[in-house]
């Protein structure tokens, strides 16, 4: 079960997301369970190579079943799923 603030990535397409609102569902990408990134260690490595990873792409995905919401940090063409169905995309308006 994902918790708010946790980072997950897909080992297949390298898509990376941060949990905005936790849910009971399991995050899946490319048909495979996403991997939880160890918060401190991995993020420090990531930030050294990429600037401001927390900002994300401004795209959120929401699960219609468990309400889990994620922010996509590194977007790929991989299909994000939760609770066995595709997550719904939500454009975030910055204003
Ligand atoms: Zn993927
Ligand atoms: Zn779900």
* Structure confidence by residue, pLDDT tens digits, 18-67: 999 999 999 999 999 999 997 655 555 555 555 545 556 678 999 999 99
Tell which residue, 7, 91, 94, 75, has the closest CA to residue 47. 7
Structure tokens at 88: 């719904």
Q: Looking at the CA of 81, name the nearest ligand.
A: 2
Strand, coil or helix: 67: coil
More confident residue, 93 or 2: 2
pLDDT at 58: 73
Residues 74-90 have a mean pLDDT of: 95
Instruction: List the alpha helices (DSSP H) in the chain.
Output: 39-49
Residues 7-15 have a mean pLDDT of: 96
Tell me, yes or no, if the pTM score tops 0.85: no
Could you tell me if 82 and 21 are in contact, meaning their C-beta atoms sit under 8 angstroms apart?
no
83 CA to middle of ligand 2, Å? 4
95 CA to middle of ligand 1, Å? 30
The dihedral through the CA atoms of 78, 81, 85, 87 has a sign that is: negative
Banded pLDDT at 69 (limits 50, 70, 90): very high
44 CA to middle of ligand 1, Å? 22
Backbone angles phi, psi at 54, to 5 degrees: -70, -20
């Amino acid at each position: 079960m994902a918790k708010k603030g946790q980072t997950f990535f897909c080992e297949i397409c390298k898509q990376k997301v941060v949990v905005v609102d936790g849910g009971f569902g399991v995050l899946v990408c490319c048909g495979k369970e996403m991997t939880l990134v160890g918060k401190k260690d991995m993020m420090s490595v990531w930030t050294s190579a990429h600037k401001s990873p927390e900002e994300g792409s401004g795209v959120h995905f929401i699960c219609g079943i468990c309400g889990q919401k994620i922010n996509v940090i590194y977007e790929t063409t991989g299909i994000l799923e939760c609770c066995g169905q595709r997550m719904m995309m939500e454009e975030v308006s910055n204003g």
